[in-house]
Structure 1
Amino acid sequence: MNRDTSRDLYDRALGVLPGGVNSSVRAAPQPYPTFVRKGDAGRVVDADGNKYVDWVMGLGPLLLGHDVPESVQSAIQRRASEGPMYGMPTEVEVEHAEFIARHVPSVEMVRFVNSGTEATVSAVRLARGYTGRDKIVVMESGYHGAQESTLVEGGGEGATPSSPGIPESFAEHTLTVPFNDEEAASEVFAEHGDDIAAVLVEPILANKGIVEPEAGYHETLRDLTEDHGALLVFDEVITGFRVGGLSCAQGEYGITPDLTTFGKVIGGGFPIGAIGGRTEIMEEFTPSGDVFQAGTFSGHPVTMAAGLETLTYAAENDVYEHVNSLGERLRDGLRDVVAERAPAYSVVGTDSLFKVVFTRDGEAPRNGADVGRANVQRWNRVFRPEMREAGIMLSQNQFESQFVSASHTETDVEETIEAYRDAL
């Protein structure tokens, strides 16, 4: 497969972009990333004209795939033709917020922002402002964007910043517990309950190989936060409107968080984030309350139109039935391949998320540390390049999720399963 143009573009990019990219994960593939020219249904075409079945799907936002339905495309073009943005409110942002509040069980009010990171930053600030407390509980190996309060490593009270440039004082207010460890969560509340503003948790760890919650885990977090006057914040930037359909993962698991962060799917492929929750909490945001939050591009009309029309299309056209059935077919086929070729590995995922984690004992991971102990380098340096050469584009490393879209077909699924069989 000729990839000379991607190599040359990366060479040029290294001279003007740090690491040659604008988001770190894009540089993970060795020896250089694939530069994409365009999308085509469930596939992408790279700068050299090579075509791949695309399971990256923008790292999650493209629920409908690269073939945007006419209704969505028309809404985007109409809004763009009327002027790029105004710095003033528009009707479409109200309509989008109404859609989210109508379908997500815990959401009464919404504040739109411009990224998943901005959503989690704002949610943490709101939780601290609402409770008057400073400490935040997060999961070890969980990911909540590039923000100072959650970029930590280490366990319990010994967490330290995971990046230079973050003062140690930020990590002093962050407590970490292993995902799916009810005892550890109970212990941290027993010791610090009066100081904890919120627990911030992904319903499914979706940036660490896909780790699902064990029965009762989220119920325990819900009970602990209620008993101690803290907030339960679900980070549904990845799972929102993908796992659990229109009611999101919280609907799937029957849990009602106090706040929810969104991103990815709700923007229809355009930059977006949002915070949703109960009215009494959300109204602590300025201008109705005192917790400052603002953004020039928040509620951008083109993004609002793209996101609203995407969700409306999904609601009216059996999109979730299609993507979830393909996801299950993929996982079933991959389980057969793994049982035959690599029984120590684990097939993980739900609904339209899937991944093969190169575990060493055949046990599905129950927390991020289990994924970290997998054969990560074999996945990254040997397996993924072989899949790319076979015309299958997987996420950039062992940890990122892979996504099914409405544009994918049974043919895409079968080609992918066979490529896994050959590569393993």
Structure 2
Amino acid sequence: MNDDNSRELYDRALSVMPGGVNSAVRAAIEPYPFFVQKGDAGHVIDADGNRYIDWVMGLGPLLLGHSLPEPVQAAIQQKASAGPMYGTPTEVEVDLAEFVVRHVPSVEKIRFVNSGTEATVSAVRLARGHTGRNKIVVMQGGYHGAQESTLVEGDADNPAPSSAGIPQSFAEHTLPVPFNDEDAMREVFEEHGDDIAAVLTEPILANYGIVHPEDGYHEFLRELTAEHGSLLIFDEVITGFRVGGLGCAQSEFGVTPDLTTFGKVIGGGFPVGAIGGRAEIIDGFAPSGDVFQAGTFSGHPVTMAAGLETLQFAAENDVYDHVNGLGERLRNSLTEIVADQAPSYTVTGTDSMFKVIFTREGPGKDSLEEQCTAGCRQRPTCPRYDYCPKNAADVKNAETDRWRRVFWGQMKAQDVFLSQNQFECQFVSYGHTDEDVEQTLEAYKHAL
């Protein structure tokens, strides 16, 4: 496989960009990332003309794939040709806001921003402003963007910045606890409950190998936060409009948070973020409230049009049936392949998300008959239950180096592009086909 052009481009990039990239995860590919020239349905073509089945989908935003349906493409082109931006509101902002409010259970009002990071930054600020409290509880290893309040490691007793450039005094207001650990969460509230503004969590840990909540965990968080006057924030930047369809993951779990952050799919492949929730809380944003938030590019007309047309197309066509059906087929078949070739590994995911986590231990190969068949659901009667990841630490303890240094390259050599490390999700799009699934499954058989 020729990669001369990608190598040359990376050499140039190293001279003018730190690490040769504009987002750190892109450099996880070794010895250097391939540079993409274009996308086509469920595929990407790199600078050397190599064609790959793409299960990364821009790290999640591309629900419809790389080849946009005509009405979506036409709306984007129309807005772009009418002028880049205006510094004043446009009708399409209202249209998209109304669409989201109609479909997402927790959202009565919404504020659009420019990235998932900006959404979580603003949600944390809003929660603090609304409650008059300082501390935010997060899940250990969970990712909520490149922001000071959540780039924190350690535990609730010893939080510390996970990045240089963040003062320890910032980290002291963030309390990390393990996902799925009710006892640890109770202890944190017993000690700090009067100063906890919010619990911030993904409904599914989707940036750490895809970890499902145990049954009742989100209901527990909902009750505990309400009892202490804290807010429950669901970070649906990844799961929003992908898990649970137009109602998002919160509708699938039947738990309504106070605030929800969005990104990725809601912008149809263009830069976007949003914060939605109860009107009385969202109205805390300036100019109606005293929590300042603003952005030159917020509500950008091209992004708003792309997001609205993407979601309307999904609502009016068989998009979710298609992507969820392929996702289930992938996970079912991967479960069979893993049981035969690598029985300690764990297949995870739901709807149009999937992953194989290289867990180090598992049940005996002959005891897998009653296992979860289409992705781990934390079912206590599953023979994998005592071995499947319950939190981010469990995923981190998997064979992450083997996944990245050996397995990823073996899949690429078979023209299958997977996410750049063990932790990132993989996504099915409307552009993928049955043939893409079959080729990918054959590649897994060979690579595992």
What's the TM-score bracket when you normalise by the shorter of the two chains? Answer: over 0.9
Q: In structure 2, how many angstroms separate the alpha carbons of the residues matched to 1:42 and 1:11? A: 28
Counterpart position of 1:76? 76
Q: Over aligned residue pairs, what C-alpha RMSD do you find? A: 0.5
Amino acid at match of 2:403: W
2:32 & 2:318 partners in 1: Cα distance? 38
Aligned residue type for 1:252: E
Q: Is the 1:75–1:309 Cα contact (8 Å) retained in structure 2?
A: yes
The answer on 1:383 being equivalent to 2:407 is: yes
Letter in 1 for 2:248: C
Matches of residues 129-208 of structure 1 in structure 2 within 5 Å?
A: 129-208=129-208
- The residue identity in structure 2 corresponding to 1:99 is F
**Separation of aligned partners in 2, 1:157 and 1:164:** 20
Task: Report 1:284-363 matches (<5 A).
Answer: 284-362=284-362, 363=387
Distance apart, 1:340 and its partner CA: 1.1
Matches of 1:423 and 1:128, distance apart in 2: 48
Q: What CA distance in whole angstroms lies between the structure 1 residues aligned with 2:241 and 2:272?
A: 14
Taking the aligned partners of 2:14 and 2:23, their CA distance within structure 1 comes to 13
Check whether the contact 1:36–1:47 (CA below 8 A) recurs between aligned residues: yes
Identify the residue that residue 376 of structure 2 maps to in structure 1: none
Partner of 1:399: 423
Measured against aligned partners, the alpha-carbon deviations of 1:109-129 in whole angstroms (never above 9, x if no partner) come to 000000000000000000000
C-alpha deviations, 1:163-215, integer Å up to 9, x for none? 11001111110001100001111111111111000000000000100001000
1:218-260 Cα shifts (integer Å, max 9, x gaps)? 0111011000000000000000000000000000000000000
Q: Could you tell me how far 1:55 is from its partner in structure 2?
A: 0.1
CA distance in 2, matches of 1:127, 1:275: 11
- Could you report, residue by residue, the CA deviation over 1:347-370 in whole angstroms, capped at 9, with x for unpaired residues? 100000000000011332110000
Alignment partners' CA distance in 1, 2:29 and 2:119: 28
How many residues are paired up?
424
Q: What SS does the aligned partner of 2:257 have?
A: coil
Structure 2: gaps spanning 5 or more residues:
363-386
Q: Assess if the C-alpha contact under 8 Å between 1:348 and 1:364 holds in 2.
A: no
Task: Look up the equivalent residue of 1:386 and give its one-letter code.
Answer: Q
Give the structure 2 partner of residue 366 of structure 1: 390
- Residue type at the aligned position of 1:79: K
Q: Which runs of 5+ in 1 are unaligned?
A: none
Counterpart Cα distance in 2 of 1:344 and 1:2: 35
Question: C-alpha offsets along residues 250-288 of structure 1, whole Å, 9 cap, x if unaligned?
Answer: 000000000000000000000000000000000010000
Query: Residue type matched to 1:30 in 2?
Result: E
Identity %: 74
Q: Which whole-Å CA distance do the structure 2 matches of 1:392 and 1:340 have between them?
A: 21
Counterpart in the other structure of 2:53: 53
Contact 1:157 1:174 in 2 (8 A): no
Between the aligned partners of 1:123 and 1:169, the Cα distance in structure 2 is 20
Deviations 1:87-136 (A, max 9, x none): 00000000000000000001000000000000000000000000000000
| Residues 262-273 of structure 1: pairs in structure 2 closer than 5 A | 262-273=262-273
1:245 maps to a residue whose letter is: G
CA distance in 1 between partners of 2:232 and 2:416 (Å): 38
Letter of the 1:66 counterpart: H
Amino acid of the residue matched to residue 171 of structure 1?
A
Letter in 2 for 1:254: G
The secondary structure found in structure 1 opposite 2:436 is helix
How far 1:156 sits from its partner (Å)?
1.3
Q: For residues 130 and 90 of structure 1, what CA distance do their matches in structure 2 show?
A: 28
1:73-112 superposed matches below 5 A: 73-112=73-112
Tell me what 1:211 maps to. 211
1:14 is paired with a residue whose SS is helix
